[in-house]
Chain A
Amino acid sequence: MPTWRRGGFAATPSKPGLEELTAAGNEPMHAASAPLTRLLWLVTEVTGTVEETPRVRTLLLDAHGWPGHRPGQHLDVRLTAEDGYQAERSYSIASAPGEQLAITVERLANGEVSPYLVDEAREGDGFEVRGPIGGYFVWEDDGRPLFLVGGGSGVVPLMAMIRSASGPTPIRLLYSSRTRDDVIYREELDARAGEGLKVFHTLTRAQPPGWTGYARRIDAELLREVAFPAAERPHVFVCGSTRFVDAAADGLVTLGYEPESIKTERFGATGG
């Protein structure tokens, strides 16, 4: 049985994964050096857009004074109407640190901010962002294998990790989309796939003729075929809808992954 003590979660020797959480989850260095200055709203200009799918668009941003970020983090967007009305939402950062800042946004039915970002905003338009936000769903390359599981636009923070990878760390991406036309970053993923990065697609709703990838929702058997063996102690990041994340995370636990080694993020939580 795990026990709790001052300062965090004490591990028993039979559960090495818990030790990891103490190290990764508490991040005492970060806590101790918490910046006392507020994350400021930064004047931001749209410098370009990329139509990724019919429902998804990438916006390239010039955020004046952006402090940099780590792969997996997100930012807040604030839109202001002419009469001063404002709306805020959070979006995952799609770009690697050091690249031009980019977010990738899916248009949500009945959304307030996402339809503007996907359909209306164009080069030269402005809004505000602040960030980076989040210190948990963040990849630090320590050489251990990296297993990424994304559903739909849940691939966005995972793409920031893929774009950040430079060394020999083996990476596998399991990516679930409804149809081939819904696959975000399709060409870039094709181009990046190779020795270091293996990409496994599953198309859950319709498959084109001659499709050789998976054609069903993620389940334990599919994970067994794709995931690194638990003994290799991969870092795991899962991002998607709640149902998707639960299926993937529960499946990985049944494969012997320590629950504490699986970092999840669920989208759809900000209501568009």
Chain B
Amino acid sequence: MPVISRGFRGRRGEGPSDRIPPGQHRVDDFPVLSAGPTPHTPLEQWTFTIESGAEPVTWTWDEFRALPREEVTVDIHCVTKWSKLDTVWEGVSLDTLLGHVEHDASYLVAFCDGGYTTNLPLEHVTDGKAWVAYGYDGEPLEPEHGGPARLLVPHLYFWKSAKWIRGFRLQDEDEPGFWESNGYHLLGDPWQEQRYWGD
């Protein structure tokens, strides 16, 4: 039985309950979270690489922008408790990217400018569940929000949507990334409230 906080009424009706996971609340702005300075990689130096058992596959920025693009409208949920509804992104589906490599891996580790990494089971990023996004709300993605390109995995807590992504490595075994090694859950399903180790 939780403790009743005397005099607390709270703010109600913040959003449809079937779209706001437990412990979350709706915001209308777009808060920024990151562990270090914002990297600024020039687009002419930017590449995106998939590493697997075979030769790595690499795209330049122009090549990457020439890949088939999708626009998606999704809800996003940050582990720091905010959720933002109906965000509009443009980018390349991971289904498209993974179509360029032959592999039998089960996991990926995304790597980013600034040294950030995050891990994901492939079943959570295939079949229309994840993108590498370079557009937000009709504009190029701002550096503070992860531009030029970030991972977008909206059904998991937003730290999985790694900013400043430069590629990912396919592997057979799961391997904790940056926040996953620093107290946060290995998977991070907001509907299961998988915030921290042991949740």
Contact = CB atoms under 8 A, between A and B. Distances in A.
B115 interface: yes
B10 A79 contact: yes
A231 interface: no
30 contacts: A4-B117, A9-B115, A30-B183, A31-B176, A34-B197, A36-B198, A38-B199, A39-B196, A39-B198, A41-B2, A81-B5, A81-B9, A86-B10, A87-B10, A87-B25, A116-B7, A121-B7, A125-B6, A134-B183, A135-B182, A137-B35, A242-B31, A250-B37, A260-B36, A264-B36, A264-B37, A265-B35, A268-B31, A269-B33, A270-B31
Given A25-B178, A135-B183, A112 B198 contact: no
Given A27-B181, A126-B5, A38 B198 contact: yes
Given A133-B196, A135-B183, A269 B82 contact: yes
Q: How large is the interface on B (under 10, 10 to 19, 20 to 34, 35 or more residues)?
A: 35 or more
B38 interface: yes
Contacts of A146: none
B12 A270 contact: no
Interface in B155-174: 167, 169, 171
A89 interface: yes
B10 A39 contact: no
B182 A128 contact: no
Interface of B: 2-12, 23, 25, 27, 31-39, 51, 78, 80-82, 111, 114-115, 117, 144, 167, 169, 171, 175-176, 178-183, 196-199
Interface string A37-68: 11101011000000000000000000000000
Q: How large is the interface on A (under 10, 10 to 19, 20 to 34, 35 or more residues)?
A: 35 or more
A200 interface: no
Interface string A107-146: 0000010001000110001111000011111000000000
Contacts of B78: 269
Given A43-B3, A125-B5, A253-B37, A35 B198 contact: yes
Nearest to B39: A259
B2 A271 contact: no
Interface of A: 2, 4, 6-9, 18, 21, 25-28, 30-31, 34-39, 41, 43-44, 78-82, 84-90, 112, 116, 120-121, 125-128, 133-137, 242, 246, 249-250, 252-253, 259-260, 262-266, 268-271
Given A4-B51, A270-B80, 14 more contacts: A4-B117, A6-B171, A21-B115, A38-B199, A81-B4, A88-B23, A89-B81, A112-B10, A116-B8, A126-B5, A249-B38, A260-B36, A271-B25, A271-B81
A266 B33 contact: yes
Contact of B169 (A4, A78, A81): A4
A236 to B, nearest CB: 10
